[in-house]
Amino acid sequence: MEPDEQDERATTGTPPAVHLDGITKRFPGVIANDDVDLEVERGTIHALVGENGAGKTTLMNVLYGLYEPTEGTVRIDGEPQTFDDPGDAMDVGIGMIHQHFMLVDTMTVAENVVLGDEPTKWGGIVTDRERANRETQALADRYGLEVEPTELIEEISVGEQQRVEILKTLYRGADILILDEPTAVLTPQEVQSLFGILRELIAEGKTIIFITHKLGEALEVADEISVLRKGKLVGTVDAETATREELARMMVGRDVLLEVDKPAASRGDLVLDVEAVTIEDDRGVVAADSVSFGVHQGEVFGIAGVDGNGQSELIEAITGLRKPTDGTITFDGRDITTDSRRSRVSAGMAYVAEDRQKRSLVMEYELQRNGLLGRQHLRPFSDGRLIDWGATGEYVDDIIEEYDVRPADPTAKAHSFSGGNQQKFIVGREFERDPSLVIASQPTRGVDIGSIEFIHNRLLELRSDGKAVLLVSSKLDEVTQLSDRLGVMHDGEIIAVVDPDEVTEEELGLLMAGERPDNLDVDGARVRRSSV
C-alpha cells in the first residue's frame, strides 16, 4: 500500500475491515504462514493469489477460525479477535464460501439457506417454511441474487447453487465474505453474473476476499491483489495498474509464459474411437447419451462443459471404471468396451483422474507405493511375482525431481502433501508411462501457475511425440489453448465439435449452457458435428 493511502486512512481514523497482524502459523516441520501482514479495506474486493503451498488457504483458515495462529493477531475493524472455531468468526461477521459447495441436494433453496438457524412456529416445534421462503426471497431481492426459494438444489444450475451459498452466508449476518476459487465450475456468463453480484455486495458495504488461481479474473474484479509466496506476503498491488505478467512473476519468482505456444498438429491414425456410447450414473440415470468422437495420434481433443454434464461418467467408461449400457469403445483398433482397467493400462492408456484422492492415490500409502499404482504387475517394476523396489524408487525419485513435487520425500504419505503437489505427482506418474493415449481430466485443478505452465508444455510434448491426448477441463482458457478440436458437452451429449481457434469464449459459454449461437453454422468450418 502506498504511503499517501496510509496517511489518508490515518487522517480519517478508519481501520481496515481485516488486519492480519504478523500472522505466523507453524505445523510440525512446516511454516505455512511467516509473519504475514495483510490489510483489507472495508467495502472492497481483495484478491489473494499464490502458488500451491504458498499459504493462502491456511491464512484464510486462520481468519475464519479453523486454525489458531502460532503468532500474530487477527483484527476486525481495528479490534483484536480470538477465534476458537468458525462459529466465533461468524459471530463477528465473517463467512466463508468453499470451492466445493456444502448444500443438501434433496432440500430446497430456502431450506439450505436457513439450515441450522431455521425460523420456527408452534412454539419452536416445527420449521416455518413459509417464513423461510419469504426471508430467502427478500434477501435475494436485496442483493440481486436470482433464486427460487422453493426449488430443490439438485434441480438448479451450478451458478444458482453458488448464489445459494452466498445467501447462506448473508443470512447469518456476514459482512466479510471469503470466497475460495468461486469461478472454478462456472460458465463465462455465470462468472460475469457472479462478478456483478460481488459488486452489488460491495455497494452494500460488504468486504470480499477472493482466493483465485485465475489472474485475469483477479485483475478484472478486485480492487487490490495480495501475493503470497512460500508463506510470506510478497506484496499488495493495485488491480487497476497491475498486469498478469507482474503477478505471475511475484507468485513464482521468475517470468512465466502465460500463453501456450502450440505448433501445428500433425494428425495421424485414429487411436481412440468412441461410438454411440450411453452411460448411466450411480442412480441408474442416463449421464451420457449416444456420445461419439475420436482422438488421433498427434492431436489434443478437448471436451468443454460445466461440471456435471456427463463428462465424468464418459471418462470413467473410457478408462474402464464404469460399464457403458450401449455403444463401443475402440483403442488402437481393438474393442475394449468390456476390458478391465488393468488391461487398458497395460495396452498404453494413461489417466489423470478428476478426483485425485478417490481415483489416483491411496492416501495412506507413501509416494513410492503410489508411484506403482496400475503398474505393479509390469516390468521393470515387477517380474510378475515380486516388486523391484530399487527400480520403483528411481522412477519415483525422477518424478519428484522432474515435476517439482514438494517436499521431495518419497517416503511421505500422500495425505501429507498439498493438493497441488499431489496433482503434480499424479501427472508425472501418468505422463512418464510412455502411453499411446493420455486421458487428462482437470489436469491442472488446484495447481499453481508455474506448474500449470509445466503441465501444459508436457501435454504438448506428448502431442508432438505422436501421442493421442483427450483433455477434459472446466477452464476455458486451458481447453481452448491446448485443443486442436473441441467437443462441447451439455446434458450428457456432445452438442458440437468446434475449432478452438475460431470460436469465441461467449459462443462457447452459450454452447455449454445448451444454447446454439445464431451466428455459428453447425455444418460449416466454425462448428461441426463429428465422430472422428
293 with 531: CB under 8 angstroms? yes
164 with 109: CB under 8 angstroms? yes
Alpha carbons 63 and 82: distance in angstroms, whole number: 10
331 with 437: CB under 8 angstroms? yes
- The residue whose grid cell reads 498439498 is 418
CA dist list (Å): 528 to 80, 221, 285, 313? 60, 35, 28, 24
Predicted pLDDT at 102:
85
Predicted pLDDT at 520:
58
Extract the C-alpha cell encoding 358: 478417490
Picking from 24, 20, 27, the residue whose alpha carbon sits closest to that of residue 232 is: 24
C-beta atoms surrounding 525 within 10 Å? 9
Extract the C-alpha cell encoding 250: 511475484
Residue 320 has φ and ψ, to the nearest 5°, of 90, 15
Extract the C-alpha cell encoding 364: 495412506
Predicted pLDDT at 523:
39
- The residue whose grid cell reads 487428462 is 440
Alpha carbons 187 and 512: distance in angstroms, whole number: 7
Alpha carbons 230 and 235: distance in angstroms, whole number: 13
- The residue whose grid cell reads 489518508 is 8
What lies within 8 Å, CB to CB, of 216 at 6+ separation is 244, 477
272 with 511: CB under 8 angstroms? no
437 with 468: CB under 8 angstroms? yes
Average pLDDT score over the chain: 88
Residue 465 has φ and ψ, to the nearest 5°, of -80, 5
The per-residue DSSP string of 212-255 comes to -S-HHHHHHH-SEEEEEETTEEEEEEETTT--HHHHHHHHHSS-
Domains of the chain, each with CATH number or no CATH:
1-93+176-256 (3.40.50.300), 99-174 (no CATH), 257-348+435-532 (3.40.50.300), 354-434 (no CATH)
In the chain, the amino acid numbered 191 is: V
Alpha carbons 298 and 270: distance in angstroms, whole number: 10
Predicted pLDDT at 527:
46
Rounded to 5°, the CA angle 19-24-28 comes to 150
Predicted pLDDT at 448:
72
Predicted pLDDT at 472:
95
The kind and range of the H/E element at 114 are helix 109-114
In the chain, the amino acid numbered 223 is: D
107 with 115: CB under 8 angstroms? yes
483 with 300: CB under 8 angstroms? yes
Predicted pLDDT at 277:
97
Predicted pLDDT at 518:
63
Extract the C-alpha cell encoding 74: 487477527
Using 70 as the pLDDT threshold, list the residues of the chain that sit under it: 1-13, 184-185, 257-258, 446, 517-532
Predicted pLDDT at 396:
95
Alpha carbons 18 and 80: distance in angstroms, whole number: 10
240-293 per-position pLDDT tens digit: 999 989 998 998 888 776 677 788 888 999 999 999 999 999 889 999 999 999
Predicted pLDDT at 278:
97
C-beta atoms surrounding 392 within 10 Å? 20
Residues in the chain, how many?
532
Alpha carbons 138 and 165: distance in angstroms, whole number: 16
Radius of gyration, CA atoms only, the chain: 24
Q: Residue 521 class from Cβ within 10 Å (0-12 exposed, 13-18 middle, 19+ buried)?
A: exposed
Predicted pLDDT at 526:
44
